[in-house]
Amino acid sequence: MKQPVHLATVWLLLLLFSSFGHTTPPLQFEHLTTAHGLSSNLVTTTLQDAQGFLWVGTENGLNRFDGYEFQIHRRNAAASETLNSNHITQLFLDQSGQLWVGTARGLNRYNRSQNRFSTIPAYRDTTPDSTVALSITSLAESQERLFVGSSQGLFQFNPDKQQLAPVSAPEHIAPALLDSEVSALLFDSDGYLWVGTHEGLHQWNPVEQTLKTYRHDEQDDEQTVGKKTIIDNTIQALYEDRKGQIWIGIDGGLSRLNPETGVIRNFYHGEDGHSPELVGDEVTSILEDANGNIWIATTEGLTRYNPADETFTALIHEPQLADSLAHSKTRSLTIDRSGILWVGTQGGGISRLNLQPKAFYREQHHPELEASLGYDSVLSFHEDHAGRIWVGMEDEGFNRFDPRTGTFERFEYEAEDFTLEETTEGIFYIDSGGIHKDRVRSIQSDQRGNLWMGTSEGLEYFDVENIRFRHFHPKAGRPHSLSHENIGVLLLTSEDTLWIGTQEGGLNKFNPETYENEIFRYRENDPNTLGSDRITALLQDQQGTLWIGTEGGGLNRFDAKQGNFQRFALPLKNNQAAASSNSIWTIYQAEDHRLWVGTDEGLYQFSPDSGTFTPSPLTLNGEANRVLGIVEDDHSNLWLSKENGITKFTPSSGAVQNFNARNGLPTDQFLPGAYYRSKAGDIYLGSNQGMIHFKPHEITTNQHVPDVVLTKLEILNNAVTPASDDSPLQVDITQADRLSLSYQDKAITLTFSALDFANPENNQYAYKLEGFDPDWNFIGHRRVVSYTSLPGGNYTFKVRGSNNDQVWNEEGINLPIFVAPPPWLTWWAYTLYGLTLIAIIAGIARYRTLKIERQLVEQEKANRILEHKVADRTKELNVKNEQLFRSNQNILSSIRYAQKIQHSLLPNQSMVQQLFGDCFIVWEPFS
């Protein structure tokens, strides 16, 4: 296997020059290695299972990846259900969703419910002692028949006996299938089994028992197209594309076979007079993507072949580029359901490539390329009448960028051309053939197409047609001199007034024709002046009003008639006592006339009528920190440049989409003032790592709805599996359809994952424990939830997840959870409590009844005693009454006798009144 250095150099130069005139997004890899938890950087095979997990086989263990963490499976000699070897050679998913794992010592079947593995024994013949240890090289299935390629030939799985045995074939076919190492298998769409060996390629019909063999023929090796022979007999990979063509990976190149015509086309590494098509000649894996591109993994890199235009793209490991392939020796290829290409490498772990990347393009400085960007720190942009973009830089003046060709034109500084002149207005300028190599922070063009540039050393005027410059520098004591040399922002208004915002000298109103200049500064205790001398943004709105953004002085409005300013301070930060920075970094008026400002605290809408700031939804949600630039696309979306990426904000709906280095942006640290939208609708952004540009309509949304899975259960901070002591799990948590917890499980933690791998760090989550949480909890990127001391009862734990572009799986997870109450709170405990209460009440009632009965007996006894006493007393009273009666009778008898004596001695009243007339009786005894 040869590796000429000159071919690698050719590929590298092709990659560099292909950066100009972009037609496709740049290919940028991300890497996962042992530093991220992978068991080994020697990756042999990759696969996505039916549930959405990514499996990675290595030479030292098998890994299950959920987008965040690797779960490692290794052989455990003490366990009954374990892998038979740590050297994983093949992964295969059959039509029922069963995962099969081939190792250097045989075949294993994955038990998903228990998250364990069982070994499938292999027998050379029917005798019990004929077991063999197979090094599995490949697997294929058709109509529930599983074939296994190995170092000892072709085997078939017997589902009844649960074992492997050599395939059954007629004598004229068997030697081809059994007597040589089988290195690759493929069932094609017509039902043929293609068997790749180190002695050629066989097309076998297992039903009709026919065999056709393809081998290399030295005599038919002169023509590339239309030949009947493959490159070499050492077959290493097989693949059928959407057209039914068979791609054959060989140790020596790549062959493509049309089974209908028998025509073979060969692709070479570039040796022996062949043109370079493949980056390497030992092909290890082949795959077709959704766009019809064929990806070829080799031991010297990765090749992408586009059959439509017959183009080849080489991808190799480049140590100076962090986003190149992790290692040039590639072994496996897999495309997952979210459109990510996974490349297993020998030594670099896994490289992943988004095949539908965000179409962000970066232009950078390449010293060896004259037509590249002059310097990587980009500060400003402006478009001329021809649609070319003028780019201001940190240290090299400015360049002119042609979007059609993707090339830059540089304008060099020539010191010998300087001449110094002084105008009567007192402004110094320099006529020269070049420009100072200083910071060009702002660019504006006049009606003639000439440029005005604000720099860190003053004001520059560039005559584009004659390539001549004038440099304006402030001069103390001159009435029309600039207020400060450090210029941050320029604005040429419709009245041909050039407003010049400086970093420390306030605002200048400059006449480009007469060079007259008027200065506006901040004055303490004068509210009609600028809020600050540090000018950061300028805007003339659709009504002709001038708005000025300042650092520390808020938003200012210029009253042209009065010549003064009105200040508008930002609201308190988060409506708290802590004041905001009161700095405005950008001002933009949208097509619907709304005024937006970017601040340290995020994006605000400003109402000129009321003079109030309203925070945008993304500011309230904390999703936008310092907003440095605002531009609008054709669909009324606002694109915000920030210090940590780009945000696409839709004011009408409040929708937010964030972009950073992990989901397509080549860089995510942008600079103040470095933002622009061209007349064609392209957006340009400047950073310290080059210039970014893109077409907003090409920034597509990831439409993949991710599967959402539970990945871990912890109780009292201890991970729980079905094998754990006193485990509530009968199956692995990923397969659990319900969960029963004890009252002693006072703290539970559930971890979950949305299985979209485009940018897992930007996946979003929401959860709700039905029966406990009143509403859904939206927790952003966090994917761990804990509950403590749940009351006994029935609950349903629900989780929703989204991909990186907030496309949600609304169904998500629904896991019923039963929390058993403590024994003293169970139904039988309550029954016992009830019975006990009834018994107590009955006891109390019985006690009270007995007590009452005793009281009644005592009362009855007391009553009888009382009755006796009453009777005795009554008897005594009767005697006394009798005695009294007799005594009374005696007295009455005496009284009656006295009355008789009285009546006999004294006259009665009528007699006295007759005798004496007017008289009365004073006293009469016994009357």
Per-residue model confidence as pLDDT tens digits over 628-647: 999 999 999 999 999 989 99
pLDDT top residue among 69 and 882 = 69
Q: Which long-range contacts (CB under 8 A, 24 or more apart) does 191-194 make?
A: 191/142, 192/259, 193/140, 193/142, 193/147, 194/238, 194/246
In this structure, the dihedral spanned by the alpha carbons of residues 240, 242, 245 and 247, taken in order and rounded to 10 degrees, is -40
Per-residue model confidence as pLDDT tens digits over 708-719: 999 999 999 999
Strands 808-819 and 739-741: parallel
The sign of the dihedral angle between the CA atoms of 882, 887, 891, 896 is positive
Task: Please give the average per-residue pLDDT across 66-72, as a whole number.
Answer: 97
- Give the position of tokens 């802590």: 578
Task: Please give the average per-residue pLDDT across 749-764, as a whole number.
Answer: 94
Per-residue model confidence as pLDDT tens digits over 438-494: 789 999 999 999 999 999 989 999 999 888 888 888 887 777 789 999 999 999 998
- Least confident residue range of 153-162, 555-564, 857-866, 915-924: 915-924
Domain residue extents for the chain: 235-355, 542-621, 710-825
pLDDT top residue among 7 and 435 = 435
Task: Please give the average per-residue pLDDT across 98-119, as a whole number.
Answer: 97
- For residue 737, what pLDDT is reported? 95
d(CA 203, CA 266): 19
Q: Is the pLDDT of residue 271 over 80?
A: no
Angle (CA) 550-551-557 rounded to 5° is 15
Per-residue model confidence as pLDDT tens digits over 359-371: 899 999 998 888 9
pLDDT band at 345 (very low <50, low <70, confident <90, very high): very high
Q: Is the pLDDT of residue 268 over 60?
A: yes
SS3 assignment, position 538? strand
- For residue 228, what pLDDT is reported? 74
At 164, the amino acid letter reads: L
Per-residue model confidence as pLDDT tens digits over 538-576: 999 999 999 999 999 999 999 999 999 999 999 875 554
- 799 beta partners: 767, 813
- For residue 389, what pLDDT is reported? 97
User: Domain 235-355 maps to which CATH number in 3.40.50.620, 3.40.50.720, 3.40.50.300, 2.130.10.10?
Assistant: 2.130.10.10
What are the tokens at 836? 């006990």
Mean pLDDT of the chain: 88
Per-residue model confidence as pLDDT tens digits over 606-624: 999 999 999 998 887 766 5
Report yes or no: 332 and 44 within 8 Å, Cβ to Cβ: yes
CATH topology of domain 710-825: Immunoglobulin-like (2.60.40)
What are the tokens at 134? 């197979």
pLDDT band at 920 (very low <50, low <70, confident <90, very high): low
In this structure, the dihedral spanned by the alpha carbons of residues 484, 485, 486 and 488, taken in order and rounded to 10 degrees, is 80
| Plot region of 113 (φ>0 → left; ψ -120 to 50 → alpha; else → beta) | alpha
Per-residue model confidence as pLDDT tens digits over 164-199: 999 988 888 888 888 889 999 999 999 999 999 999
At 116, the amino acid letter reads: R
- For residue 830, what pLDDT is reported? 84
pLDDT top residue among 374 and 356 = 374
pLDDT band at 923 (very low <50, low <70, confident <90, very high): low
- 306 beta partners: 311
Residues with Cβ < 8 Å from 157, sequence gap 6 or more? 107, 120, 145, 146, 147, 148, 163, 164
d(CA 535, CA 419): 31
- For residue 488, what pLDDT is reported? 96
Listed residue (551, 556, 605, 601) closest to 579, CA to CA:
601
> How far are the Cα atoms of 422, 477, 535, 536 from residue 460, in angstroms, in the given order?
15, 21, 18, 19
Q: Does domain 542-621 have CATH number 2.40.10?
A: yes
Answer yes or no: pTM beyond 0.75: yes
What stretches of 394-540 adopt beta strand conformation (E)? 398-402, 407-410, 419-422, 428-431, 440-445, 451-455, 458-463, 468-472, 487-492, 498-502, 507-510, 517-520, 535-540
Per-residue model confidence as pLDDT tens digits over 22-55: 445 568 899 999 999 999 999 999 999 999 999 9
What stretches of 293-425 adopt beta strand conformation (E)? 294-298, 301-306, 311-315, 330-335, 340-345, 350-354, 361-363, 378-383, 389-393, 398-402, 407-410, 419-422
- The helix (H) or strand (E) run that includes residue 846 is helix 827-905
What are the tokens at 157? 């799985």
- How many H helices and E strands in the chain? 5, 67
423: Cα within 13 Å, side-chain hemisphere = 22
- 602 beta partners: 599
- For residue 356, what pLDDT is reported? 82
Report yes or no: 44 and 89 within 8 Å, Cβ to Cβ: yes
Percent of the chain with pLDDT over 70: 89
Per-residue model confidence as pLDDT tens digits over 767-790: 999 999 999 999 989 999 999 999
Per-residue model confidence as pLDDT tens digits over 282-315: 999 999 999 999 999 999 999 999 999 999 999 9
